[in-house]
Amino acid sequence: MNNSNSILSNISSSSHASLWDEVAAILSGLIGGGLYGLKIRIPHSVVMTFLFGSHLSFREKIRAIAKLAGEHATNLAAFACLYKVGENYAMFMLHYRYFQLDFDLVSLYVPYVSSDDAGHAQINGPSRERRQIISTNKHPGQPEQPYHAFLAGATGGYIVWGRYSGVNYQLVLYLVSRILVGCMKLASEKGIPPFSWKRLTFTKTYPWAAAGVWGVVMMLFEEYPETLHPSLRRSMDEIYRFESFGSSSGSSRRNDG
């Protein structure tokens, strides 16, 4: 009996700590996402607005900077919060069939703990069904299973980043390139050919990758400029259609009209 009470005490104390740790992780993601969004977007918005927004008044430039920075910070904060909530919900649903838990506002309550003939600790839930306790190595704020991260990220991505805007689209494109590189590295580590071939080292393949990327983008710019993102096209027009020296070239070799 004393042993059962000791187990109950340990479970109750760890449950309280785990619950508050998860809440702290959610709040940390909310605050951290907002602060990081401001830190990243404000310098970028200032440079881009003053560089390409010469037609705007000073007041309009400040408003544009504040809008872009606020959107970036708000979206990052909302996504971080939704992601943390989503992964915890996935964890709860995974373990719901193993645990009979009664929830109140601040704690997790285990009704009754006993041990079977083999000495294994068990929980008697409200239905009086005995279920063996399973342990988890999950750290606060981290998913227990890889698919928890995918489901939580996909849900947050649809809700937060699924609404089209310049900021959201830019971040999605940024992540696409990083994901492709990460997947190739993972394929190399897993021994998947041709990425695992030893002769395909980074120093040997990078020049060819750079050649392919720049060759394709320049061909698109010259022949099909309408397929490029407007911000990229404006930047390339600034570089390759500079007319201060009397050039009469248009925005592309291909006539868009």
Query: Is 159 found in the same domain as 48?
Result: yes
Query: Is 23 found in the same domain as 95?
Result: yes
Query: Is 77 found in the same domain as 2?
Result: yes
d(CA 209, CA 220): 17
Query: Is 218 found in the same domain as 247?
Result: yes
- 249 pLDDT exceeds 80? no
Q: Tell me the two tokens of residue 21.
A: 């740790």
Which domain covers residue 190, as residue numbers?
166-195
Query: Is 77 found in the same domain as 48?
Result: yes
- Please tell me the chain's helix, strand, coil percentages from 3-state DSSP, rounded to the nearest 5: 65, 5, 30
Q: Tell me the two tokens of residue 225.
A: 């400029």
Query: Is 134 found in the same domain as 20?
Result: yes
pLDDT tens figures, 212-236: 999 999 999 999 999 998 888 988 9
pLDDT tens figures, 101-138: 444 433 443 333 444 555 444 444 444 343 333 344 55
Name residues whose C-beta falls within 8 Å of residue 66's C-beta, 6 or more positions apart in sequence.
none
Query: Is 254 found in the same domain as 171?
Result: no
d(CA 84, CA 73): 17
Q: Which of 87, 95, 94 is nearest to 143 (CA)?
A: 87
Provide the number of structural domains found in the chain: 3
